[in-house]
Structure 1
Amino acid sequence: MSEALLADNLAWAAGRHGDRDFFTRQAAPRQAEHLWIGCACSRLSGQDLTGLPPGAIFALANLGNLALSQDIGFLSGLQYALEVLKVRHVVVCGHYGCGAMGAALSDPAPGLVDHWLAPVRALAWRHAQDLETILDPAARANRLCELNVAAQLAQLAANPLVHETWRRGQPLSLHGWIHSAADGLLRDLETSVSSPRQAMALVGGPMDQVGRRRGKRKAS
């Protein structure tokens, strides 16, 4: 398998030689304006979904697109994006059909995955009354996906690194989106914040209505 991947890379590189400046452009410095916090099990990246060129998005991915304040790997990536790249937008992007959401709704199984998803499982417990009204398991997991994106956005909105960025006067907006593999569209959950005041309102506000206006896709 590893040899096949290396062969695929050779074919990919050879296919780019028709564009003489392709690799020169990729090697040139590029300032990403977007930090994309996605799910590791999503089949499409932020670059795939938006059509932006390589380097326009700085991406972080983990199981369930979590923005945990105790995860040093996530925090170091966030700090780099805010302080070095000076991104102007942070997107938390979940995806319908997420295996992590399904796992969080299933019986706990010993192991690191269950430990990692403990915040999502706790979120599901807090919204059990809402989720239990959804009889279809896939639809229930999709609803949890929406709630999880809102919860991770609230985590970001309370993060000291984000507030320090605003204190410096650096423009920064936080967005919560959902990707659907069924149609390839991004849906805006309408939870964006771009100031400490809006962040306080998001952190302190109810999440029960998040995503209820489902279907509004991100304008191109």
Structure 2
Amino acid sequence: MTTYSEIFENNLAWIDAKKAAEPDFFENLSLDQKPDYLYIGCSDSRVTAEEMMGLQPGEAFVHRNVANLVVSTDLNVMSVINYAVRFLGVKHIIVCGHYNCGGVKAAMIPKDMGLLNPWLRTIRDVYRLHQEELDDIRDEAARYNRLVELNVQEQCLSVIKTASVQLSHTQSGCPTVHGWVFDIKSGRLKDLQIDFEAKLKDIKKIYNLFE
């Protein structure tokens, strides 16, 4: 286990390694960020966005919360999406969940979770929307994994519903929204192959903000 003081030692070692490989690394890093990707993921300490994507600092704008939720009343995630789309001009928005997610598992348990209740209710609503499919899955682990995937899909829809995404896509054709799941046991990323254009078209009857 890394101690608190060792973190600062690691930081100095990291600086030396970066400078050795690229002398101007930090000078370039200090310039304005121009990431192509907005990554919305889980706060789980086992899931590191840039590392598993093979990206360098500055290549992804990252937002994380418990169970990678995109809730319209959460000003934090809404501000992140708005800023990433309107000011950074990201080309891709990725919602990434992961198997063995504690937040999703907690939402599957019908018990009082205190302060977590309103947050987990969003995932429980996902279960309610897909209850017939999920209840037909007898294996608990498989049902749990499927809820992780369905939760990602529903959060992608929440991103697509936002005004900033719809307006930007109308004007420039970007961003595109993607849904991923990270398999902690294998390290593999799974693309859920969400048809962004089709989803955008489907929701326009109710959620279209720009015509």
In the superposition, the TM-score normalised over structure 2's length comes to 0.86
Alignment pair present for 1:144 and 2:119:
no
> Which residue does the alignment assign to 2:7?
5
Output one character per residue of 1:84-112: Cα deviation in whole Å (capped at 9) or x when no partner: 10001101111111111111101222322
Distance 1:24 1:67 in 2: 34
Confirm whether residue 97 of structure 1 aligns to residue 100 of structure 2: yes
Q: Partners of 1:111 and 1:13 in 2: how far apart?
A: 42
Cα separation, 2, equivalents of 1:161 and 1:80 = 9
1:173 aligned partner = 176
Counterpart for residue 190 of structure 2: 187
Aligned-pair distance for 1:180? 0.9
8 A contact 2:67–2:103 mirrored in 1? yes
* Number of the residue aligned with 1:214: none
Q: CA RMSD in A?
A: 2.0
Does residue 38 of structure 1 match 2:29?
no
Task: Report the Cα distance in structure 2 between the residues aligned to 1:14 and 1:152, rounded to whole angstroms.
Answer: 40
Partner SS for 1:82: helix
SS of the residue corresponding to residue 67 of structure 2 reads coil
Question: What's the CA shift string for 1:159-212, capped at 9, x where partnerless?
Answer: 112112123335221111111122222111121314xx64132688xxxxxxxx
Matching residue's letter, 1:175: H
The answer to whether the 8 A contact 1:101-1:142 is kept is no
Q: How many equivalent pairs are there?
A: 202
1:15 aligns with 2:14: no
TM-score, normalised relative to structure 1: 0.83
Which residues of 2 match residues 94-173 of structure 1 at below 5 A? 94-173=97-176
- What is the correspondence of 1:76-91 to structure 2 with a 5 Å cutoff? 76-91=79-94
Contact 1:40 1:63 in 2 (8 A): yes
Of all paired residues, the percent bearing the same amino acid is: 33
Preserved CA contact (<8 Å) 1:42 1:95: no
State the alpha-carbon separation in 2 of the partners of residues 91 and 187 from structure 1: 12
| 1:85 match: secondary structure | coil
Alpha carbons of structure 1 residues 110 and 43: separation in structure 2 relative to 1, 3 Å = closer
Question: How far did residue 24 of structure 1 move?
Answer: 2.1
Please list every run of at least 4 consecutive aligned residues from structure 1 whose deviation after the TM superposition is greater than 4 angstroms. Answer: none
Structure 1: segments with no counterpart, 5+ residues: 205-220
Q: How far 1:44 sits from its partner (Å)?
A: 2.6
1:201 aligns with 202
